[in-house]
Structure 1
Amino acid sequence: MPTSENTPSPQPSIQPTVGVSRYVIFFTLAIAGCALDLWTKHAVFQADAQFPLIERPGKPPLRIYWLIENYVGFETSLNHGALFGLGQGGTPVFAGFSVLAAIGIVYWLFIRKAASDLWLTIALGSVTAGIFGNLYDRLGMYHGFGHWDKGAVRDWILLTAGSYDLRWPNFNIADSFLVCGAALLLIHAFMQPAGEKASQSPANHPPQQEV
């Protein structure tokens, strides 16, 4: 009969460590991505008046600068909804969700130590760049402080399938960061074996030094 002396004592759970490099990667992606988004929005909307005016019989004229005619171009528009024009009129709600999402990401990465995974750090850095790029617009900050009632996301990338009537909803760099970050999260979820997911939980992950 086994005695208490022979019974192995449970190992204390060890939290993973998050190196300084992960903070650098995350905040560099988030800040640089947001800055790129805001700069491109400002530049394109400033140049909008100089875009060629395209007349359409029986339809309102358009201002479009084509990079590849009838396929890829710049066209400014204001989006009062979410990604790709969904949920029009819900700007305050989406702004609130954006703030909560950003807080959740930082908590998960650096309090729950998910940043010990490089892939997650990159993916969520991209998502955060997109969140803050569009949050800036939803708060109307491109009009200055205190203009929340004028908030709308500035979209400018136009993709069509050979005709303006066959176009994808206009989007921006922030949307691109959001989609790329979400895609990385999906790939990460499918590529990681179930056993490895369990072993990388905060309770079971051994300390490691990130590079």
Structure 2
Amino acid sequence: MNSLPANRYAIFACLAIFGLAADLVSKNVVFAQLGSPAGSTGWLIDSWLKFRLFTTFNEGALWGFGQGLTSLFAVFSIAAAAGVIYWLFVAKAAKSLWLTISLALVMAGTLGNLFDRFGLHGLSGPDGEVRLAVRDFLHFRFGTFDWAVFNVADILLVVGAIMLGLQSLMPDPAQAKASSDKEPPGDVATQAA
């Protein structure tokens, strides 16, 4: 059986589109309300755990690694999106609902941050040039430890990656069935006992 369940295309498309929309709308609303960069609401949760909305641009990757390498990360994002499409629909991984959902989340996060890396948000820096950087705005602090500022696309990417990691720990049902089919039947005398 080489065909994919028809609903996998719809599930993938709906989750990817919804995730992308949630990311872009949340960025647009927060940046329009607070300005950029360094617009802040002040601490909305103010205890050992602190939370605020704080606008910033990230020209690198997660936790600010690779600052100034926006073009390189854009290329990685394009390759990741192409890889997701290939894995799901050419290599037929969409037979698994779990993989379909996890890769839809990865796709949504990838496209959301890619939108920003191309500067399609239209926000400019002090020099008047469009910022080729990801818009981040969710800021948590745990005691004295500041977590990296992130966005909805980052949440989607991390959840999708965790799901992929969990998938790698699960036994493949097709392989388990194939190996059980190959096991020779036990000793007839043992079975009769």
Root-mean-square deviation (CA), in Å? 2.4
Q: Distance in 1 between matches of 2:154 and 2:170?
A: 24
Given candidates 191, 207, 210, the residue that maps to 2:170 is 191
TM-score of the superposition, structure 2-length normalised? 0.80
More helix by share: 2
Q: Distance in 2 between matches of 1:171 and 1:197?
A: 40
CA deviation map 1:84-136 (0-9, x unaligned) = 31211110000011011101110110111110011000000000000000000
Moved more, 132-141 or 84-93: 84-93
Gaps of 5+ in 1: 1-13, 50-60, 200-211
User: What is residue 55 of structure 1 aligned with on the other side?
Assistant: none
User: Displaced runs of 4+ in structure 1, greater than 4 A?
Assistant: none
TM-score of the superposition, structure 1-length normalised? 0.74
Aligned-partner SS, 1:88: coil
More strand by share: 1
Amino acid at match of 2:133: A
Gaps of 5+ in 2: 179-193
Cα 1:118/1:194, change in 2 over 3 Å: closer
Given candidates 47, 53, 56, the residue that maps to 1:74 is 53
Cα 1:111/1:193, change in 2 over 3 Å: closer
Q: Indicate the percent of aligned positions where both proteins have the same amino acid.
A: 42
Shift of 1:150: 2.4
Amino acid at match of 1:196: Q
Cα 1:167/1:26, change in 2 over 3 Å: same
Given candidates 170, 187, 202, the residue that maps to 2:149 is 170
Aligned-partner SS, 1:159: strand
User: What is residue 11 of structure 1 aligned with on the other side?
Assistant: none
1:157 aligns with 2:121: no
Aligned length: 170
The one of the two structures with greater contact order (alpha-carbon pairs below 8 A, sep at least 6) is 1
CA deviation map 1:121-160 (0-9, x unaligned) = 000000000000000000000118xx99621000000000
What does 1:58-207 align with in structure 2 at a 5 Å threshold?
63-69=40-46, 71-143=50-122, 150-163=131-144, 166-193=145-172, 196=175
